Amino acid sequence: MALLSEDMKQMVERQRLGFVATTCPDGSPNLSPKGTLRVLDDEHLVFADLRSPGTIRNLQQNSIVEVNVVDPFVRKGYRFKGEARLLERGEEFDALVAFYSGLGLSDAPRKIQTVVIIRVDQARPLISPAYESGVDEASIRERWTRYYFDEAMR
């Protein structure tokens, strides 16, 4: 059974940025943006470690992870919880490095230290409280597009 719906997959592919939460050895949280986050299949997400020593160190000690992907214009997204598996060499690692090379990360073989595969155990929507007032998605998109555009013009 597919855990990741088509909408979830499209959100991950469209946003191409996920925030990965891990736990530090002292129990404190660590949150790190991952621009290489992609859908691997119906039950797995994947990201490449380009420069994430803290995230990788945390996952080596505690493989439980949460990934949040949110469209900032519509204030909706998904939270994915699961367990990470780290790949540093081997056929599967090589295939995923080639996958990233094919996505335009031309120096992937040199840059990628580790590939992290996340088996998604839970996937839930993230929705802004702004929708509770009955505002529709088009209005929220317009508001935040205008906000970001106006901010960029300053």
Domains, the chain, with CATH or none = 6-129 (2.30.110.10)
pTM above 0.85, yes or no: yes
User: What is d(CA 136, CA 99) in angstroms, rounded to the nearest whole number?
Assistant: 38
CB 87 within 8 A of CB 96: yes
Q: Is the pLDDT of residue 54 over 90?
A: yes
Label residue 101 by pLDDT band (50, 70, 90).
Answer: confident
User: What is d(CA 21, CA 107) in angstroms, rounded to the nearest whole number?
Assistant: 26
State residue 33's pLDDT score. Answer: 96
Read off the pLDDT of residues 3-48 as tens digits, 9 standing for 90 and up. 899 999 999 999 989 999 999 999 999 999 999 999 999 999 999 9
Q: Per-residue DSSP letters for 32-92?
A: EEETT-EEEETTEEEEEESS-HHHHHHHHH--EEEEEEEETTTTEEEEEEEEEEEE-SSHH
Cα angle: 131, vertex 152, 79; to 5 degrees: 40
